[in-house]
């Protein structure tokens, strides 16, 4: 279906008429059906028009005294496609082309008049029935407070709209999905006084208000419909309808839709200039309700978003992210990140030992993950995911700091300290649990993925696999925290020893990998209770050097000078013993792991 729209400069200078397919007609002052009464520059027979092969063919007739403007030029013969316009005098002519299947024949009745209403048009419109409108708005506040979800909110809102707009027969909330190329109109919630069960709003009106104008649009129709055409807004012989879009990100594609009949009133009441039009108060009321609903849904959306993001970010990071443009701040991008994996040790054994108390074990695991999260957030980390009894976090996105590696290491040390403290108290719910932490630093892509309701943040790249590998190696090397070479170098050269210490443990080739990795342990600063002193770390470094160079006898002796409780030395000692104190042929200083754990 194709509609030709004529629009003049002044309010009320408008008509919209359906064009016959393949049939030529004359636009002019002497044409009974195709006159433009307000246009003084239009000749009696000005142009011949015909809709043929998906375009409007226009030919200026010899009798025309004034030009036709198309694409900024005076043209005598041309073709107009959907979305294009041409001008005669002060009137702009445009096409409204409905895609096939997007509209019913019941939506084709000729529009007598149409208004596009701006906020400026409504600013000076008074409410003659102000007490009633305010009473309805008072009920809206109660609905907002009590509605448990968005669907219930919209359901209650359409009922209040019907109460507030006395002339309305039908009120509804409609939606046009942005991804739908046909612009199909969906009714989300509706209520009517006519009990018409198959009500459908006008697609023309809805698309114009929501997609084209993004403002309130009013349509007034001419004649009554036949029973066979009683579909869409005109169903039930409605004489007028208006559509008021909701605005803001949370209102995208949504609108209030109201339809009614003149109910004995003169048609002039709906055709009068907007300042004295009978529908002006009702549109203003709908605009007010739309603004309230938009603000409320936006507030709920932001609260929901804050709730979701609160799982990932510390309060300080969340505050900074929320203060800027969240969509831009959380957009995936390249970043230099430090990734942390923290695995809860002792979980599987507890499940086997206490199979009859799984709910209690789950509560304890949740408590343990909460401890990890707190330590990570305390040091500006982003908690990306929980993988069973393992937490994944990272630093370097959405905010980057020079001390990101330091903060990641301090978070790991805090986790270690917390679980050591729990182990010293046999009555603590987390007694018997330990944590293994792996850290790695490198290039990755980090950002938010998923829908608005199911958003999550994550990080992709080889550094993620490396951090996971480090965490897995803590089981074999039997130390709480292992880091890659980049992270270890930062700790040894840039972090004060009053915050953390590190020692290179070995170069290993993990099971199933060809590349060798240098693994290092990060440990707490030296104190009176420290198992290893700084001198012990120097002795271990000398033993590691001898081991790599093939002087295993010397390495073995130096390692045995370390405290027996130091489990970090056991990997090298066991490798020396397995090879009878002699380096194998082709020794390259790398220990090849024979299993993953």
In angstroms, rounded to a whole number, what is the distance separating the alpha carbons of residues 344 and 348? 9
Domains in the chain, number: 3
The reported pLDDT for the residue numbered 495 is 96
Position 243 pLDDT exceeds 60: yes
Position 352 pLDDT exceeds 90: no
Query: Tens digits of per-residue pLDDT, 495-509?
Result: 999 999 999 999 999
User: Is residue 253 located within the same domain as residue 315?
Assistant: no
Please report whether residue 496 resides in a domain: yes
Domain boundary among 274, 301, 328: 301
Please report whether residue 469 resides in a domain: yes
Please report whether residue 102 resides in a domain: no
User: Is residue 47 located within the same domain as residue 155?
Assistant: no
Q: HSE (CB half, 13 Å, CA atoms) of 93? A: 26
User: Torsion over CA of 237, 260, 189 and 243, rounded to 10 degrees?
Assistant: 110
The reported pLDDT for the residue numbered 548 is 95
User: Is residue 295 located within the same domain as residue 331?
Assistant: no
In this predicted model, which residue has the larger pLDDT, 296 or 208? 208
Domain that holds residue 514: 311-592
The reported pLDDT for the residue numbered 101 is 38
Of the pLDDT bands very low, low, confident and very high (cuts 50, 70, 90), residue 233 is very low
Of the pLDDT bands very low, low, confident and very high (cuts 50, 70, 90), residue 348 is low
Domain boundary among 68, 97, 126: 97
User: Is residue 217 located within the same domain as residue 273?
Assistant: yes
Q: Are strands 185-192 and 333-345 parallel, antiparallel or unpaired?
A: unpaired
The CATH number of whichever domain residue 477 belongs to comes to 3.30.70.1230
The CATH number of whichever domain residue 257 belongs to comes to 3.30.450.40
Query: Tens digits of per-residue pLDDT, 547-590?
Result: 999 999 999 999 999 999 999 999 999 999 999 999 999 999 99
Position 530 pLDDT exceeds 80: yes
The reported pLDDT for the residue numbered 254 is 92
Query: Tens digits of per-residue pLDDT, 131-151?
Result: 888 888 777 777 777 777 777
Of the pLDDT bands very low, low, confident and very high (cuts 50, 70, 90), residue 305 is low
User: Is residue 221 located within the same domain as residue 272?
Assistant: yes
Distance of CA 38 to the CA centre of its chain: 48
User: Is residue 332 located within the same domain as residue 452?
Assistant: yes
Query: Tens digits of per-residue pLDDT, 60-98?
Result: 999 999 999 998 889 999 999 877 889 999 998 988 775
In three-state secondary structure terms, 405 is: helix
Domain boundary among 259, 279, 301: 301
The CATH number of whichever domain residue 82 belongs to comes to 2.60.200.20
In three-state secondary structure terms, 198 is: coil
In this predicted model, which residue has the larger pLDDT, 297 or 531? 531
Count other Cβ atoms within 10 Å, centred on residue 450. 11
Please report whether residue 103 resides in a domain: no
Least confident of 18-22, 49-53, 403-407, 538-542: 18-22
Distance of CA 45 to the CA centre of its chain: 55
User: Is residue 335 located within the same domain as residue 444?
Assistant: yes
Average pLDDT of the residues in 234-253: 77
Cβ contacts of residue 149 below 8 Å, gap of 6+? Answer: none
Distance of CA 493 to the CA centre of its chain: 41
Answer for the pair 347, 433: CB distance below 8 angstroms, yes or no: yes
In angstroms, rounded to a whole number, what is the distance separating the alpha carbons of residues 310 and 383? 10
The reported pLDDT for the residue numbered 307 is 65
Per DSSP, helices labelled H in 104-243 are 119-123, 130-146, 150-164, 203-207
- Strands (E) in 9-80, as ranges, are 14-18, 25-27, 47-52, 55-60, 69-70, 73-74, 77-80
């Amino acid at each position: 279906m194709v509609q030709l729209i004529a629009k003049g400069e002044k309010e009320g200078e408008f008509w919209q008429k359906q064009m016959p397919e393949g049939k030529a007609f004359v636009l002019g002052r002497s044409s009974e059906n195709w006159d433009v009464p307000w246009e003084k520059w239009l000749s009696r027979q000005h142009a011949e028009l015909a809709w043929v092969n998906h375009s409007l063919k226009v030919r200026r007739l010899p009798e025309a005294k004034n030009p036709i403007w198309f694409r900024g030029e005076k043209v005598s013969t041309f073709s107009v496609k959907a979305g294009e316009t041409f001008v005669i005098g002060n009137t702009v002519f445009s096409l409204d082309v409905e895609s096939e299947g997007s509209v019913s024949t019941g939506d084709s009745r000729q529009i007598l008049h149409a208004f596009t209403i701006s906020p400026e048009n409504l600013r000076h419109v008074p409410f003659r029935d102000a007490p009633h409108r305010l009473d309805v708005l008072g009920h809206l506040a109660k609905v907002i407070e009590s509605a448990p979800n968005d669907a219930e909110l919209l359901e209650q809102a359409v009922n209040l709209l019907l109460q507030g707009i006395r002339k309305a027969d039908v009120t509804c909330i409609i939606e046009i999905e942005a991804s739908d190329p046909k612009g199909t109109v969906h009714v989300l919630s509706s209520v009517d006084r006519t009990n018409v069960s198959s009500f459908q709003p006008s697609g023309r009106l809805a698309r114009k208000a929501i997609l084209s104008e993004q403002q309130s649009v009013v349509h007034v129709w001419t004649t009554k419909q036949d029973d066979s055409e009683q579909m869409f807004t005109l169903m039930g012989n409605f004489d007028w309808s208006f559509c008021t879009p909701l605005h803001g990100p949370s209102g995208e594609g949504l609108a209030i839709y109201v339809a009614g009949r003149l109910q004995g009133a003169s048609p002039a009441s709906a055709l009068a200039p907007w300042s004295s039009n009978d529908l002006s108060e009702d549109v203003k009321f709908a605009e007010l309700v739309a603004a309230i609903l938009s603000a409320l849904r936006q507030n709920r959306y932001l609260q929901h978003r804050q709730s979701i993001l609160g799982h990932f970010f510390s309060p300080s990071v969340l505050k900074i992210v929320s203060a800027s443009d969240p969509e831009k701040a959380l957009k995936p991008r390249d970043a230099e990140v430090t990734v942390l994996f923290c695995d809860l040790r002792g979980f599987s054994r507890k499940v086997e030992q206490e199979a009859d108390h799984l709910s209690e074990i789950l509560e304890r695991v949740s408590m343990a993950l909460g401890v990890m999260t707190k330590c990570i957030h305390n040091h500006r980390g982003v908690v990306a995911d929980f993988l069973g009894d393992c937490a994944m976090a990272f630093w370097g996105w959405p905010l980057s700091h020079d001390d990101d590696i330091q903060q990641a290491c301090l978070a790991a040390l805090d986790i270690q300290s917390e679980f050591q403290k729990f182990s010293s108290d046999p009555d603590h719910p987390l007694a018997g649990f330990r944590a293994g932490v792996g850290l790695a630093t490198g290039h990755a892509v980090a950002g938010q993925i998923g829908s608005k309701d199911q958003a999550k943040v994550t990080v992709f790249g080889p550094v993620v696999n490396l951090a996971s590998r480090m965490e897995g190696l803590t089981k074999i090397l039997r130390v709480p925290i292992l880091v890659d070479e980049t992270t270890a170098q930062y700790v040894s050269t840039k972090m004060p020893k009053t915050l953390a210490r590190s020692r290179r443990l070995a170069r290993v080739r993990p099971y199933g990998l060809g590349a060798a990795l240098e693994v290092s342990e990060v440990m707490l600063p030296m104190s009176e209770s420290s198992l290893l002193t700084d001198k012990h770390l120097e002795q271990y470094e000398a033993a590691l050097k001898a081991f790599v160079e093939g002087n295993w006898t010397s390495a073995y002796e130096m390692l045995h000078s370390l405290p027996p409780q130091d489990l970090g030395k056991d990997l090298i000692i066991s490798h020396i013993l397995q090879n009878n104190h002699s380096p194998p042929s082709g020794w390259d200083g790398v220990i090849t792991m024979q299993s993953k754990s």
